[in-house]
Amino acid sequence: MRSLNWNCWSRILGACVVLGAVGTWATPQAAEACGGVFCDGGLPNSMPVNQDGENVLFVLNQNEVEVHIQISIDPNTNAQKFAWLIPIAQIPEFEVGSQPLFDALLNSSVPTYQLQQTFEVCGEDGISGGLSSASNGDPGLSSGDGGTGTEGNDSGGEDPVVFKTTAGAFEIVVLQDQTIEPIKQWLIDNDYQWIDGSEMVLQQYLDEGQVIVALKLAAGSDGGDVHPIVLRYPSNENCFPLRLTRFASIENMDIRVFVLGNSRAAPTNYRHVLVNPLKIDWLQFAANYKDVITKAVDDLEAEGLAFVTEYAGPSSVVQPFAFNFYSTSWNESAFVGLPPEQVVSTLNDQGLANCFGADFCFYNHPLVESLLNDFLPVPDGLSAEEFYANLPAYADQIDAMAWGDGSAFAQALDSRIIAPGERAQELIDTYPYLTRMYTVISPNEMIADPIFHINPDLPEVPSFRSATEYNLCDGNSVVTLPDEREIFVPGGGPWPDFIGEMWWAEEVQQVALKGKPMHLVNNTAAINKKIEEWNLAHGWPRFPEGAPTTSASDTDTDSSGSSGPDSATGGGGQNDAAGCGCRSDGGPGGGLLALAGLGLLARGRRRR
3-state SS record for 64-104: EEEEEECCCCCCCCCHHHCEEEEEECCCCEEEECCHHHHHH
Domain limits of the chain? 17-109+140-273+295-320+430-451, 112-138+459-510+521-596, 338-404
- The 3-state secondary structure of 99-167 reads HHHHHHHHHHHCCEEEEEEEECEEHHHEECCCCCCHHHCCCCCCCCCCCCCEECCCCCCCCCEEEEEEE
Question: Within the chain, which residues score under 50 in pLDDT?
Answer: 1-7, 9-51, 129-148, 154-156, 544, 547-565, 567-608
Q: What was the pLDDT predicted at 15?
A: 31
CA-derived radius of gyration, the chain: 27
Q: Identify which of 239, 192, 248 has the alpha carbon closest to the alpha carbon of residue 80.
A: 192
Give the CA-trace dihedral at 265, 268, 271, 274, to 10 degrees: 20
Amino acid identity, residue 78? N
- E-assigned strand segments in 297-432: 306-314, 353-356, 360-363
Q: What was the pLDDT predicted at 226?
A: 85
CB atoms near residue 240 (< 10 Å):
27
CB atoms near residue 105 (< 10 Å):
29
Query: What secondary structure letter does DSSP report for 16?
Result: T
Q: What was the pLDDT predicted at 500?
A: 76
What does the alpha-carbon distance between residue 582 and residue 284 come to, in Å, rounded to a whole number? 17
Residue 448 phi, psi dihedral angles, 5° rounding: -150, 150
Q: What was the pLDDT predicted at 594?
A: 30
Orientation angle between helical segments 180-189 and 199-207, nearest 10 degrees: 120
Task: Note the pLDDT tens digit of each residue in 464-475.
Answer: 999 999 999 999
Q: SS3 for 310?
A: strand
Residues in the chain: 608
Q: Identify which of 354, 349, 378, 375 has the alpha carbon closest to the alpha carbon of residue 364.
A: 354
DSSP letters spanning 581-607: EE--SSSTTSTT--EESB-SPP-SPP-
What does the alpha-carbon distance between residue 9 and residue 210 come to, in Å, rounded to a whole number? 12
Q: Identify which of 52, 119, 48 has the alpha carbon closest to the alpha carbon of residue 593.
A: 48
Residue 122 phi, psi dihedral angles, 5° rounding: -125, 100
CA distances from residue 236 to 3, 26, 33 in whole angstroms, order as listed = 22, 10, 10
Question: Which H or E run includes 570?
Answer: none
Note the pTM of the prediction, 2 decimals: 0.79
Q: What was the pLDDT predicted at 210?
A: 80
CB atoms near residue 484 (< 10 Å):
17
